[in-house]
Each structure stands twice: as C-alpha cells, then as structure tokens.
Structure 1
Amino acid sequence: MAGRQFHLIYILPNLFTAASIFTAVIAIVSAINGHFEKSAWLIFLSLVFDGLDGRIARLTHTTSRFGVEFDSLADIIAFGVAPALLLYFFAGHDYGRLGILVMALYIIFGAIRLARFNIMSPNTDPTVFIGVPIPAAAIFVSVWVLMFSEYESLRSYTVLLLIAALLVSLLMVSNIRYPSFKKINLEKPALTKTLIVLIIAASLIYLYPVEGFALIISLYVVWGVVRAARTLLTRRPPKSV
C-alpha cells in the first residue's frame, strides 16, 4: 500500500503539467473559434498549472528527469503554440505572410529558448533568466491581445502587436538577463520591500485587471532591455597600455 501511495505522489506533479497542456489546447480551440478573450485567459490559467507542477514536485520530493522533459514539452504547447495561434487568428491573418512569419518565429524561438534553458540551467545563476522566459513572453502576447480587444481605438494598429510579438520573440533568444522569482530573498531588509511591491501590484491588478497585467509584464520585458543598455553604456573601456 505504501508503494502505491508513493507512485500516486510521483504522478501528482505530472497531472498539473497535463492540466497545463489541456488548458492550452482549449485556448487554441477558442482562438480558432474567434473567442480571443477566453483564449487569452486560458493561457493565464495554463501558467498557473505550470507554476504549480514544479512547486508540488519540490514539496513532495518527486522531481524527476521525466517530469523536467514533460514540463518542457508542455511549455512549448502552452506558451509557444497557444499564444502564437491566438496572435495569428486575432491579428496575424490580416497581414498574410507577415502574420504567418511572426507566428512561426515566435514558436521557433520559443523552442530554442526552452532547449537552451534545459542545457544551461544546471550551470546558471538561479536568480536570473538568460533571455525572456517563454511563460513571460506568452503572457505578454496574451495580455496585449486582451488590451487590443478591450480598446477599439487600438484595432487599427494591430501591426504594432505583431511587431511587439516579434521583438519579444527575439528577446527570448537574446543574452539579456531577466530576474527569476523562483528564489526570492526573504531576509528582513528585502522582505518588507518585496511585500510592498506585491501589495501595489495586487492592488493595480484588482482595480484594472487587463491594464495592470499589461503594465507589469511590459515593464518586466522593457526592464531587461534598459538594464542591458545601461550596463553596456556604463562599461568602462579597457585602459590602454
């Protein structure tokens, strides 16, 4: 009986991974059927399941190589294919080959991002990501689809959405560093600041859900670029001998 319980615990994190894939498939079907807002929120839900699987695996000490590979394959569906198709059916199909190209590049660069992460993760700093993580890219695309859906004044500028998606695709395979929130410093000096930031973010999302998410994820994406540019500009040239 104890052995059977162990196997059930071992399966539990993978069930959440499967739920992430299933939610993403529903999001894809919703996008195809023109239910763009539903599709975008389902991608958000898929992110919740994706976040839970790893944490449950660590809490129950059931991490495995299979779980890592399964999670990676789930990510390319949930955060690669689903947002790319959402983008294409919402705006990309109006631009012919350009829309197809942006959709394809987003998926290809997302797959490259995941492959690179799997290879580099054992040797990299766990507090940072190299390039925009694919879940963040997916949320960026999804929330801006929600913004364009909510504000009719933006409908005439959907080409900007394609350009933004292309830029975030390139950022996924860049060497720009982005903060990882998997390991947050919870010592007393940092705890108060972290708590204040979280309360402000939660308040903003409560008052303006779509706008709040759009602002937060956009700041995250832009922050990495600004930080990299600042580092590049302030880097001192080597002294001549």
Structure 2
Amino acid sequence: MKKMIIGVYNRSVILTYVGILCAVSGIGFLVNGSDVRSAMLCLIFSGICDLFDGVIARKCKRTEMEKQFGIQIDTLADVISFLMLPIVLLQFMTGVNTVSMVLGMFYVLCGVTRLGWFNITTESNPGYFTGLPVTYTALIVPVYYIISMYTAGQIFQYPTYAVYFLIACAYVLNVRIPKPRGIWYVVFPLIAVVAVVMLVVR
C-alpha cells in the first residue's frame, strides 16, 4: 500500500528529529529575543540527542532504506544543530561584522567538509573519527560561554573568534579521535547536566 507521506517516523529517528527541533528553537530564541542562554541550552540538548540517537537506531530492526534514511537525516540534523545554530550564536555573541561573517563562512565550510568526509569513510574507520566531530561543538561552545560569564561576566570578541577558528580547523584536521564508548556515555551527559545547571542558575 502506497504511503500518504514520505520519510521515516519510527523510534529509530525520533531523537534526531527532537535534536533538530531543539536547534531550530535555539535559533528562534536568538532571533526573537537575543536569548543566548536559552540558545546554549538548546545546543546542549541537541548534542545529547545526537549522542544517543545512533545507539537507539542500532537497537532497532531497520530495513536498508531506513538505515540509509537515518544516515542522511542525521547529517542534515548535524548541519542545523552544530553548524547553523553555533554560527547564529557567534553573531549574537560578537556582533555582526566582517570578521564574524568571514569566520562563520569558514566554520560552515569546514563543518560540511567534515560531515561529507565522515559519510564516505565511516565504514572503514569503525573505532575512531577523523577530525573533530561536529557534535563536540555542543560541549565546547557552552563550556566556553559558561567560563566567560562566570569569570569575566561577559563575552569578549577575540577569544570567541579564536575558539570558533580552532573548532573549525579541528573539524578538518587529519587526526584520529576515538569514538565515545562505555563510560563516556555517562561522562558526557553528566557534563551536560552540570552545564545546564550553571546556565539556569546564572
């Protein structure tokens, strides 16, 4: 029987969709109210969704089409969550200017290059990533923001530029980074919980 709508809508992709919604909400918080703190929370939540969506998907019985759809939708989710949302955050933290615009373009180009490379090499590199995974932005940027707000009470332009530049370079750096396993699925969420608490009580 022909389906009325295209796509996959089972539990194998539900966290991916939730992560996308969190990222879009974060962009909305920025555009509608310049609410950087809420956007940071959304970025963290998107990161948690991305950390566990693959775990859930692998436990589901999926057709080959559903597996391929999951790969594609996960990449698109990464673009929205860990490339577009962080770039909008950059503009609101440092102001829209020539440096932030050029840096934003560089960041996105490095990010999509990283994602494209991952998609064609993931089968040959089962135990590690090549280059920094874009998901790690959901940890690095909020931690940087929290440290800045708790120590200096504000965000400074040039340190922020440096952080984004280094992240972008790390995306395409030809180094091996072990994939998270075992205890890291506890450590990363715990760091996220601490970050959320610090953002909320600030």
Q: Please tell me the TM-score bracket, short chain as reference.
A: 0.7 to 0.9
Instruction: State the 1:61 CA deviation.
Output: 2.5
Give secondary structure in 2 for the equivalent of 1:13: coil
Instruction: State the 1:164 CA deviation.
Output: 1.4
* CA 1:23–1:174: 2 relative to 1, 3 Å: same
> What stretches of structure 1 move > 6 A for 4+ residues in a row?
none
**Bigger mean CA deviation after superposition, 136-145 or 27-36:** 136-145
In 2, the alpha carbon distance for the partners of 1:109 and 1:138 equals 16
Give secondary structure in 2 for the equivalent of 1:129: strand
| 1:98 counterpart residue number | 99
In 2, the alpha carbon distance for the partners of 1:171 and 1:79 equals 14
In 1, the alpha carbon distance for the partners of 2:120 and 2:90 equals 29
TM-score (norm 2): 0.80
| 1:57 counterpart residue number | 57
State whether structure 2 residue 74 is matched by structure 1 residue 67: no
Instruction: State the 1:31 CA deviation.
Output: 2.2
In 1, the alpha carbon distance for the partners of 2:130 and 2:138 equals 16
Instruction: State the 1:15 CA deviation.
Output: 2.2
* CA 1:114–1:205: 2 relative to 1, 3 Å: closer
In 2, the alpha carbon distance for the partners of 1:134 and 1:92 equals 23
Instruction: State the 1:143 CA deviation.
Output: 2.5
Where is the helix percentage greater, Structure 1 or Structure 2?
1
Render the CA deviation track for 1:63-92: whole Å, top value 9, x for unaligned: 510111011101110111011111211114
Name the amino acid aligned to 2:51: G
Render the CA deviation track for 1:74-119: whole Å, top value 9, x for unaligned: 11101110111112111142xx100111122112211111000001
In 1, the alpha carbon distance for the partners of 2:56 and 2:25 equals 24
* CA 1:50–1:212: 2 relative to 1, 3 Å: same
* CA 1:34–1:54: 2 relative to 1, 3 Å: same
What is the percent sequence identity of the aligned residues?
Answer: 24
State whether structure 2 residue 74 is matched by structure 1 residue 76: no
TM-score (norm 1): 0.68
| 1:141 counterpart residue number | 141
Larger Rg: 1
Instruction: State the 1:154 CA deviation.
Output: 5.0
CA contact (8 A) 2:50 2:135 kept: no
Runs of 5+ consecutive residues of structure 2 not aligned to the other structure: 1-7
Q: Across the two proteins, how many residue pairs are aligned to each other?
A: 186
Runs of 5+ consecutive residues of structure 1 not aligned to the other structure: 1-8, 185-193, 214-241
